[in-house]
Amino acid sequence: MIEFTNVSKQYPTGQLALYNVNFAMQPGEMVFLTGHSGAGKSTLLKLIAMLERPSQGEIVVNGKAVNKLKNKHIPPFRRHIGMIFQNHHLLLDRSVFENVALPLKITGMHHRDIRRRVQAALDKVSLLNKQKENPMMLSVGEQQRVGIARAVVNKPTIILADEPTGNLDPELAQDIMYTFQQFNELGATVLIASHDQTLIESMNKRIIVLQKINP
């Protein structure tokens, strides 16, 4: 499903974020990515979603060598990936419903189908009753769940989450992890970057550790 072969990433600033990374994920697998701050976790996730391009090596996602993807093929490719960040990146000038509907609108879907799908996604994160509210009015945990609903509304094959529980207290964090597990059980391949060691270990999944490289 996701395969890295000798992947390195050096930012234009000269910062070497990843060096010679090799790993593979099976379809339907749920994996945690851990390592110290600055080890390159965020960079690795960005490479999968083509938010950054690798400096070296090959990345295969869904059977496609994405490092060779042309610019115009990147938008449709991203629609198969749901991304969640530590900061929810919700748009505060519109309602929860509108936020979650955004990925569907991008595909040109019809209004009534959008309504159905958005409500289903909000239902899965137990926020159906908050759909008309502005994200600003929600608690941090709820905002993060809206972000998850937006990431999964498109029924992506791959879900990537970068420190999704970073701002949450342990109980809420555990809750969010269970939500991801549910999506994994529904068939999605899930990769979560986190440095919360106890939380990760409690989930009983494969863990990939990134070592920080000393230049």
Contacts with 203 (C-beta within 8 Å, 6 or more apart), sequence order: 30, 32, 177, 181
Determine, following the binding rule CB under 6 A, whether residue 107 of this chain makes contact with ligand ADP. no
Q: What is the DSSP annotation of 22-76? A: EEEE-TT-EEEEEESTTSSHHHHHHHHTTSS--SEEEEEETTEEGGG--GGGHHH
Residue with tokens 């929810």: 88
# residues near other proteins by CB under 8 A:
33
Return the residue of 3, 28, 133, 208 that touches other proteins, per CB under 8 A: 28
Contact (CB, 8 A) for 5 and 67: no
Return the residue of 7, 40, 66, 147 that touches ligand ADP, per CB under 6 A: 40
Give dist(CA 192, CA 135) in Å, integer: 23
**Of Mg ion, other proteins, ligand ADP, none, which one sits near residue 191, judging by CB under 5 to 8 A according to partner kind?**
none
From the centroid of its chain, how far is CA 131?
Answer: 22
Determine, following the binding rule CB under 8 A, whether residue 27 of this chain makes contact with other proteins. yes
Determine, following the binding rule CB under 8 A, whether residue 167 of this chain makes contact with other proteins. no
Residues in touch with Mg ion (CB under 5 A): 42
Determine, following the binding rule CB under 8 A, whether residue 68 of this chain makes contact with other proteins. no
* Binding positions for other proteins, rule: CB under 8 A: 27-28, 49, 51-52, 72, 75-79, 81, 83, 85, 89, 91, 93, 102-103, 105-110, 113, 150, 154-155, 157, 186-188
